[in-house]
Structure 1
């Protein structure tokens, strides 16, 4: 039997209609969405399946993505006896990974990330925060440029190490915009300010750390069924104490996604992405030669299980 890792996407993977095929064809999905709506006082059927503005607001985006990922993973577990060697997620996806690992109940996780989104939004409110996608520069060059600009008083930091030649920066939107030409002169093929009002994984979220920590202590349990790979260290952890520290630090430190995949690549034969879309599958094509399967609806679930049993 193939050795696999379960991986979970973060913000940016959301889309109206995600999870609908699961909802229409699985009692597990219906039950999880009903319980989620009751727990948070959010109508998740409307949030997920009907046109609305909330899906793009981080306090709603985060639980929506986690719910769909957790549904996909729960249906897979019900259908297959394949266990992961480890689990990991991209940013928000690390919380979905914790659900999969048994370290937190999915309903508690939904409340936790709903609050996380609020705390992140509050930390950046009125600051002019934003994020930028950079393509075509190596990590060291970007780190050096950001450090030089911070020494000049600008607020810019590397936030997501997605794959070689693709980073996302966080900071003040005006500062990021002012550096577009600087990055292009340094060799960037693209430098695009994203349509976001939150600066994830940088020092601007310090207040969110203090607000989130008590809820991490309340909701996490010391019962990991499998190792989780940390976004902060790209190393495995499996205790509540470690999780509280690492998930707090995750808010103000960059996501080391490509490092996480590369560091554990030899331990598995394939990766399985759970949730809407194939964002991580796309990144993995540039990071690893191992295949990445996905479970985003009932059809892809069937194809993935067939591929694993070949």
Structure 2
């Protein structure tokens, strides 16, 4: 029996105009954008619709904007009768996965990610921390490089284990630069500095994690209706208490994306539907396993196409 996973993108996928065709075509999707404005008490929907990109890219806007857009697109898929057996999200996308799995309400998740964005921005002064993608190097070899540099006094660690040969490192500016140089010396194909405002998924985010823990204590999180694969462990998480704990740890722990996809494959998932702007996750999944079916749903056309393709499979 074919199993479906919904996967949700994280920060970096945002673009002006995302989700607009779905909002125009679907009343429930439109209501999500309206609800976002009401919940946050500022016009997030017009920043999503009209930009400018520089404002949309600010962490405090990008995080709620991506959550809102992905949940709006999800309404359209659900109306078309498409449902998932598992969900997962890349970093911020994990909150969208939790909403999709019935563990958090949209409004509370929105409030939380808006705060999460603020705390992440505040944790490290701008310019002191950064991230870089290391291409063509195994995790063990890279891990020993980052350990060595951290031990010498410049914190740096593995942050996103995205797919074979693509790992993002995160930490102090000096730590990331030194690790990049050593990685090249030890055979990495490329080192790509990322345009980010902070060292996400590194120990430098611990002050943000403490503030986030206080917010998560106040909101209502319930057991999931369908399992979510955790960024932190790459295992299924279903209980409310574990979800709270893992969302705090997620801020300073690596995103085990490759392991999460492998886990879902082992659970029988053969169809992955990326819900939100862009096709970043679909691309990573194809690099992990070429045999699986991937779809990227980001507008009304792709929503209808996927619904039709899956109906034909069932028949």
Select which of 298, 305, 308 maps to 1:306: 308
Deviates more, 1:268-277 or 1:156-165: 268-277
CA spacing shift, 1:220–1:190, aligned 2, 3 Å = farther
Deviations 1:63-105 (A, max 9, x none): 001111111112211221x431111111000000000001111
- Which residues in structure 2 correspond to 1:57-72 (within 5 Å)? 57-72=58-73
In structure 1, the residue matched to 2:248 is 248
8 Å CA contact retained: 1:86, 1:227: yes
* Deviations 1:184-211 (CA, angstroms, capped at 9, x unpaired): 1111111111111211111001111110
Return the offset for 1:17.
1.1
1:197 maps to: 197
Compute the displacement of 1:26 (Å). Answer: 1.5
Taking the aligned partners of 1:146 and 1:162, their CA distance within structure 2 comes to: 17
Q: 1:50 corresponds to which residue?
A: 50
What secondary structure is seen at the aligned counterpart in 1 of 2:254? coil
Q: CA RMSD in A?
A: 1.3
Deviation per residue, 1:8-27 (Å, 9 max, x gap) = 11011111111111122111
Answer whether contact 1:138 1:165 (CA < 8 A) is retained: yes
**Corresponding residue number in structure 1 for 2:284:** 283
CA contact 2:127–2:198 (8 Å) conserved in 1:
no
Alignment of 1:103-118 (within 5 A): 103-118=103-118
* Residue in 1 that maps onto 2:296: 294
Equivalent-residue separation in structure 2 for 1:264 and 1:35 (angstroms): 32
Q: Find runs of 4+ consecutive structure 1 residues off by over 6 angstroms.
A: none
C-alpha distance in 1, partners of 2:223/2:22? 28
Specify every segment of 5 or more residues in structure 1 that has no aligned partner in the other structure, as ranges: none
Please state whether the residue corresponding to 1:84 is helix, strand or coil: coil
Which region of structure 1 is more displaced relative to structure 2, 169-178 or 94-103? 169-178
Unpaired runs of at least 5, structure 2: none
Distance in 2 (CA, whole Å) between partners of 1:127 and 1:211 is 21
The answer to whether 1:268 aligns with 2:269 is yes
Deviation at 1:45, TM superposition (A): 2.7
8 A contact 1:173–1:193 mirrored in 2 = no
1:285 alignment partner, SS class:
helix
For the 8 Å contact 1:170–1:202, the answer to whether it is kept is yes
Q: 2:131 aligns to what?
A: 131
> TM-score, structure 2 length as denominator?
0.95
TM-score w.r.t. length of structure 1: 0.96
